[in-house]
Every structure is written in C-alpha cells, then in structure tokens.
Amino acid sequence: MSTVVFARHAMTPAERLRDAGWVAFVGLILGIPLVGLTTVDVGGRLAVGTRFGLLAAAVATVFAGRLLLHWALDQARNRKLARARASTATAADRAHGAQKAVMLLGWVALGASVALPIFYSDNRYVVDTATTVLIYVMLGWGLNVVVGLAGLLDLGYVAFYAVGAYSYALLSTQLGWSFWEALPVSGALAAGFGILLGYPILRLRGDYLAIVTLGFGEIIRVILVNWTEFSGGPNGISSIPRPSFFGLEFARSAPEGGQTFAGFFGLDFSPMHRLIFLYYLILVLALLTHAFVSRLRKLPVGRAWEALREDEIACRAMGMNTTNIKLSAFAIGAMLGGFAGVFFAARQGFISPESFTFTESAIILAIVVLGGMGSQMGVVLAATLLVLIPEFGRNFAEYRMLLFGAAMVLIMVWKPGGLLSHREPTVRLNPLGKPAAAKEAA
Amino acid sequence: MMDTNSPDTATATLLSVQNLTMRFGGLTAIDDLSLDVPAGSITGIIGPNGAGKTTLFNCLTGFYKPTTGSLRLDHPTHGEMRLEALPSHRVARDAQVVRTFQNIRLFPKMTVLENLIVAQHNVLQRASRFSIAGLFSLPGYRQAEKEAIERAATWLQRLRLEHLADHAAGELPYGIQRRIEIARALCVDPVLLCLDEPAAGLNPRESAELNALLLYLCRELGIAILLIEHDMSVVMNVSDHIGVISYGRKIAEGTPEQVKNDPQVIKAYLGEDDEDAENSGNAVTEGAAA
Ligand SMILES: Nc1ncnc2c1ncn2[C@@H]1O[C@H](COP(=O)(O)OP(=O)(O)O)[C@@H](O)[C@H]1O
Ligand SMILES: [Mg+2]
C-alpha cells in the first residue's frame, strides 16, 4: 500500500534530469541579461561586457540545486511516510513516549540548573542571565495559570509583578521588614489586586478581556509614575535591602551585632556569593511554584480552570460557579507574579516603573504561548529561548530585536501549538505502561 | 444516590411550567406555555425547527431569564424550588436539573474521564476544602477523588465508553461524543435530565441503543427525563408523554398515540415539511446557548 502511494510521488532519474534541465534553461534565459551581460567602464564610457564563464557556473548551480532540492523534498516525504507508518502504534504509546520525553527533559533541566553555579562560580554574566531566565520561568508559570489553564487572556500581568516588587520595596525601606516577612504579605497583596481586577471583568472574554487587562496594567504603571510621595515616581525606590542567608549578610564587613556570610563560613569575601545565593533562591521559589501549580492542576480547582478554558457554558451547565473559578485563577496567578516581583526588587536593589511596562507583559505572554499553553515544561523552554536569543543577539547590535521577532515567528510557524503542546491528562483510568488490553486479559 | 424518586411518586408532578413567555426584542420565542413534567417518566418535547424547544431548556436551566411565567420544581429533598430565580450553575448544583446541548458541548481537550470528573466538581471541591486538603492529599480528599473516579467509571461502563476513558473527548466520533455528554450529565446526579436532540447525528443502531439507555435511566434509576427530539423512532418509542410546540405555543399534549393522530400536530409537522421542500431557506438558526 505505502509503496503505491510512494510510487505516485516519485520521479524517475530521467524525469528528474529533464526537470532540472528545464529549470536550468529558464535560468539561462534569465541569466543572459542578468549575469551574462554587464556594463563595464571603458575610459569613462559605458560599454557592454560579457561574463559567460560566470553565467555557465550560475546555470550549472541552478541545475544541481534543482536536483538537490528534489532530493531533499523526497527525503522529507519519506520521513513523513515512515512516521505515518510508525504511528500505527497506539495513541497511548505515543502519549507515553511524549510524557516520558517531557519528564526526561525536566530532570535534565533541573540537574543543569542546580549544577550551573558550580561550573560558573566566577562568571557573573552567566549566573546573572540564568537568574533572569528563572524569573521569567516563574512569571511564565504564574501566567500559565491564568492564560494557559483558565484560558483568560491577560495582557496586564506585569501589574502584579509590580505590586509584588513595590510591596517589598516599601515594606522593607519604610517599615524595615525582611525579605521573608514581606514575601507572603506581598504575595497576598498581589492576589488581592488579582481579585480586584477579576471582579469587573468577570463577564468579559477574549478581546475585551485582553483590552481591560491591558488597561489595568497601564493604570498600575501610571499610578507608580505619578504618585511620587508613595512610590518615588519615575525615580523609583532605591537601596532596597538584599535578602540575607538566615540572617547572614552578604557584605564585606559585618553589620553591628551581625555576621557576614563569608565570615561565618570562613570564606574570603566575594561578590559572587550573593549572586549565587540569589540564583538558588529564585530556583527554589520557581520550583515551589512549579510544584504548587502542578498539584493544583490535578485538583478540582485546576480541572475547573481547564474546563473553563474549554467551554464556559458547559461549566455552568455542570453546576460550576464560574465566578469563583475565574477569581481563583486571577488570584493565584497574581500571587505568583507578586512573589516573582518581590524577588526582582530584592535582587535589583532598585526598582522604577520602567521595569513594568507593557513590553514586559507581552514577553511573559509570549513565553506562555510559545511554550504551549498550559505546558509547564514549555514555559521553561520558551523562557530560556526568549531571554537567551536577545543575549546572543547582542553581537548583532541593532538587528537584535529583528532576530528576536524572526525567531518568534519561526517557532510559531514550525509549531503552531507551542514548543510543547502535549497535554498530560490529570488522571487516568488505565495508567500508562499498563495498557487496557493487558488489564482485560488479566 | 440515584434513586431520588421512589416509585410511589411516579405520578406526581416533578416540574410545572406555568405561563412561560420568553421574548427576544420583538420575537416571542415562547408564548404563554404551560406544561407538567411528571416524576419518574420520560416526557418528549417535539416541534418544528425554531419552535422554541431549546429556548425552553435555556429558560429551565437558568441560561435565559424568562420574560414572565414560573418554573416550579418539586425537588425530592429540597421541596419546592423556583428555577426561574436561580442562576444556571445553581440550577444544576442545587436543583439538580441537568442538561445536554443540541450542539455538543464537551471539554474537548480533556479526556473522557476528566470530563466526567469535572462534572463532579462541587462534591470534590468541598472535599478538597479550598484546595488545602487537596494540596496535601489528605485522606478525606483522596477518598472523595477515588469515589469520583469510581463513579465516572461506573457510568462509562454502563454507556460502554470505558475503553475510551483516557482519550481526548474532542477527538472522538460524533455519536460517541453525544453519549459522553449524557454520561457527564449523569455524573452531576440529576433529578431531571434534559436532553436536547440526543439522537441528532446518530445512526439507526446508535438510536436504538439510546432508546434502551433512556428507558434504563428512567425505569431502573428513576431519573425523570425531558427529551427534545426530532427522531420519531426515539420519541415515540420511549416517551410516556409528549408535548408539541409550534411557534412557541403548546399545540398538543398526550401519549405518543394521541399526539401522532392529532390533526394540529400533523398540520404543524407535515405543513412545515411541505414548505421545507419548496423553500428550505426558512430554517431558523439555533439559539445562542443551543
Ligand atoms: N438568544 C436569542 N436571541 C434572539 N433570538 C433567539 C435567541 N435564542 C433563540 N432565539 C429565537 O427563538 C426561536 C426559537 O429558537 P429555538 O428555541 O432554538 O428553537 P428550536 O425549537 O429549534 O430549538 C428562534 O426563532 C430563534 O431564532
Ligand atoms: Mg433546538
């Protein structure tokens, strides 16, 4: 059967040569004026010169190129056919394979991220960039709840990031709260803002929802810019205290009555200690976020979010209070964004409204969409790509954003459903690796 | 759990629709309609396209607020309930009046089993205690989840869908999706099950299976069923009682025999069919929540 299908598409060698010959002929016709003839400057006057050698080379290239193109197309088609034939394997097997691949990828990523500071312990740039990646991973995981799971398009997510960052900045500089005291309070504040935003937009969907959330993000930013007494206005807030390691400061000299990290462990002071500590801190926060969201997904509330994304009317017909479900998605997503904001403020030591523009929301949303809506591992991949591409792009100076945009377009063309679009069910009747048939036979 | 109607209430009225009117701007989709749905039986609703059948379901299940009229449910445990005053999710959750849709509305990317578990959201959500018990996987929640899965599995088995439990619902054939939608509605533990054209798109064998299922649900489990259906082989065979609607009014009511021979009904149906043959552009589009 498959050979018949194949034979219909394949060309005999003679046909191929003829085809390439025709293409080369067209190339020749076009090439004569374009390549074969050229103007030369003879003593200040233009004259027509010939370049038949170059023309011959061009035509030969076209001929060979055409053959090569066909060969490549055939290869691609063969591979597709082979894959189609292989897919007679059951859907369950494929799902199993996909799940295993994602699991493996996850463990590799975890191993790499734990080991990274060990190998780059004196490379400030690498540790800093990796920390940035992890902040975006965490933001992506937070937004994934709202957009990926609950299907509520939120273009103002950065507002909650800002609420978290400013909460910590103000609590620590004004009231002297420590990082660990401010973290839960700031998260709760951000969640409160999530509910505040959630209420007016309960009835909205799709485009309208997106526009209102966009407006909300801008409102928060504009307030931060203009309410100078409260937020420091465009100058932002500086000298935000850095988190300490169980009370040990990362400083050259110990504060009064305290001890430094380096002093306590008998190490020489190095500014890298703090960077590496911050890296591990965000790694732990991100992993906690991941554990939290993954667990929620398998709970009634998580299934309700996904059901809401799939069909809101059906949800109501099943007796689900969609108001509560939406608000819980907004609140949880906002809280996670708030946590990330607290970390951001603590890491930078300085924040201003500049850091919370719409571009930031767009990047976080791009991470979720590019990763594959709802996929936790996809967020990791997309965040890594979206942070690293502009970094590598630094060599290309002004073409950097062009490169960034092109990469995004390419990914969406190549994988319209996102990098990892496989959805793992939250519960199975017949666990994988133990096919239903085997169960029945038993 | 399912035997909410004991046999002695079989003749009592479960749902009483009184003088129901639903207007959309100038259009009167339901016009002063009154109808009684007896407990423990199957009530068929038939009528030409655009007659207002789906609109009746939308009013009944809280998706539309009726312009006037009342919908009284004599709930076996909660007593009398006024459905027109309840929002849609409370109609399903508290009044246990559960519906399916004319255009199937599953959660397509979720598996069949997940669809059935989402239908038990309220029970599970209570057991998960604001997700705290769920997050820490406390025994109470684990037990509730296990029961929910067992319950879903029971319905899947009864509707012979067990082998498809872990497939994405949206990827399955149409006839199977219809059955899944019924299974999902059953997981909400309905007192009154409202089915909107469940036989649409089914082949004759599937229709016959549907008949058997409906009779089983009603006779064995005592679930009252309100059934909108065009497929006469289904309605006439399973209904205890049929109401006929045309242009939003009830034009006839009675046993399948009575309805079949009612001149008004023949006129509404055959008249419309003739017209349809000449002028098929007349068909009215289905309602928003259909
Ligand atoms: N949301 C709505 N807005 C306006 N008109 C509606 C709406 N829902 C239904 N209708 C109209 O009500 C009439 C009855 O529709 P429907 O109840 O869907 O008929 P059917 O008996 O075929 O299910 C139709 O004329 C339809 O166009
Ligand atoms: Mg209808």
pLDDT in tens, A199-254: 888 888 778 888 999 999 999 999 999 998 888 888 889 888 888 777 777 776 66
pLDDT for res A8: 47
- pTM of the predicted model as reported, rounded to 2 decimal places: 0.81
Residues of the domain holding A232: 92-414
Domain containing residue A104: CATH number: 1.10.3470
Q: Which of residues 192-211 of A touch B (CB under 8 A)?
A: none
pLDDT for res B74: 92
**Burial annotation A69-89 (CB, 10 A radius, 16+ → b, else e):** ebeeeeeeeeeeeeeeeeeee
Domain count, chain A: 2
Query: How far apart, in whole angstroms, are the C-alpha atoms of residue A340 and residue A329?
Result: 17
Looking at the structure, tell me whether residues A220 and A297 fall in a common domain.
yes
Q: Which of residues 66-125 of B touch A (CB under 8 A)?
A: 87-94, 98-99, 101, 105-111, 113-114, 117-119, 121-122, 124-125
Judging contacts by C-beta atoms under 8 Å, the chain A residues touching residue B110 are: 303, 306-307, 310, 425
pLDDT for res B227: 94
A428 domain residue, yes or no = no
Q: Find the CB nearest A428 among B87, B128, B166.
A: B166
- Choose the weakest-confidence range: A178-187, A253-262, B138-147, B149-158: A253-262
Length of chain B: 290
A81 domain residue, yes or no = no
Which top CATH class is B10-15+26-96+190-290?
alpha beta
Q: Is the per-residue pLDDT at B274 higher than 50?
A: no
Q: Is the per-residue pLDDT at B281 higher than 70?
A: no
Q: DSSP for chain B?
A: ----S-GGGTTSEEEEEEEEEEEETTEEEEEEEEEEEETTSEEEEE--TTSSHHHHHHHHTTSS--SEEEEEEEETTTEEEEGGGS-HHHHHHTS-EEE--SS----TTSBHHHHHHHTTHHHHHHHTTTTHHHHTT-HHHHHHHHHHHHHHHHHHHHTT-GGGTTSBGGGS-HHHHHHHHHHHHHHT--SEEEEESTTTT--HHHHHHHHHHHHIIIIIT--EEEEE-S-HHHHHHH-SEEEEEETTEEEEEE-HHHHHT-HHHHHHHHHHHHHHHH-GGGPPPPPTT-
pLDDT for res A89: 56
Report the atom number in ligand 1 closest to the C-alpha of B47.
21
Nearest by Cα to B47 from B238, B273, B240: B273
A432 domain residue, yes or no = no
User: Which residue's CA lies nearest to atom 19 of ligand 1?
Assistant: B50
Looking at the structure, tell me whether residues A59 and A205 fall in a common domain.
no
Q: Is the per-residue pLDDT at B119 higher than 60?
A: yes
- Residue B119, min C-alpha distance to chain A (Å): 5
* Closest ligand to residue B286's CA: 1
Nearest CA in chain A to B92: A319
Q: Say if the Cβ atoms of A304 and B117 lie within 8 Å.
A: no
> Which of B24, B103, B194 best tests ligand 1's pocket when mutated (most atoms within 8 Å of CB)?
B24
Q: Which residue has the tokens 């068909």?
A: B283
> H-type helices in A227-357, by residue range?
228-231, 261-264, 271-297, 300-310, 312-317, 322-348
Two tokens, residue A88: 């007679």
Q: Which of residues 197-256 of B touch A (CB under 8 A)?
A: none
Best residue in A296, A429, A432, A440 to probe B by mutation, most B CBs within 10 Å? Answer: A429
Looking at the structure, tell me whether residues A119 and A226 fall in a common domain.
yes
Looking at the structure, tell me whether residues A112 and A260 fall in a common domain.
yes
User: Which residue's CA lies nearest to atom 9 of ligand 1?
Assistant: B287
A405 CB near a chain B CB, below 8 Å?
no
Domain boundaries, chain B: 10-15+26-96+190-290, 107-183
Q: Is the per-residue pLDDT at B117 higher than 50?
A: yes
In the DSSP assignment, the letter for residue A299 is S
Q: Say if the Cβ atoms of B99 and A317 lie within 8 Å.
A: yes
Backbone angles phi, psi at A156, to 5 degrees: -120, 30
Q: Which residue has the tokens 């009317």?
A: A313
pLDDT for res B168: 92
Looking at the structure, tell me whether residues A252 and A107 fall in a common domain.
yes
Judging contacts by C-beta atoms under 8 Å, the chain A residues touching residue B167 are: 91
Q: Which residues of chain A have pLDDT under 70?
A: 1-10, 84-95, 252-258, 397, 432-442
Looking at the structure, tell me whether residues A240 and A115 fall in a common domain.
yes
pLDDT in tens, B29-46: 999 999 999 999 999 999
pLDDT for res B42: 94
Last residue of a domain, one of A40, A73, A106: A73
A434 CB near a chain B CB, below 8 Å?
no
Report the atom number in ligand 1 closest to the C-alpha of B285.
27
A431 domain residue, yes or no = no
pLDDT for res B141: 87
A84 domain residue, yes or no = no
Residue A319 CA to ligand 1 center (angstroms) comes to 23
A28 domain residue, yes or no = yes
* Closest ligand to residue B46's CA: 1
Looking at the structure, tell me whether residues A34 and A147 fall in a common domain.
no
Looking at the structure, tell me whether residues A228 and A340 fall in a common domain.
yes
Backbone angles phi, psi at B110, to 5 degrees: -85, 155
Looking at the structure, tell me whether residues A46 and A106 fall in a common domain.
no
Q: Is the per-residue pLDDT at B148 higher than 90?
A: yes
- Residue B110, min C-alpha distance to chain A (Å): 7
pLDDT in tens, B222-269: 999 999 998 888 888 999 999 999 999 999 899 988 888 888 888 877
Looking at the structure, tell me whether residues A270 and A129 fall in a common domain.
yes
Q: Say if the Cβ atoms of B61 and A303 lie within 8 Å.
A: no
Query: How far apart, in whole angstroms, are the C-alpha atoms of residue A204 and residue A199?
Result: 10
Question: How does residue B279 score in pLDDT terms, banded at 50, 70 and 90?
Answer: very low
Looking at the structure, tell me whether residues A254 and A105 fall in a common domain.
yes
- Residue A425, min C-alpha distance to chain B (Å): 7
Looking at the structure, tell me whether residues A21 and A165 fall in a common domain.
no
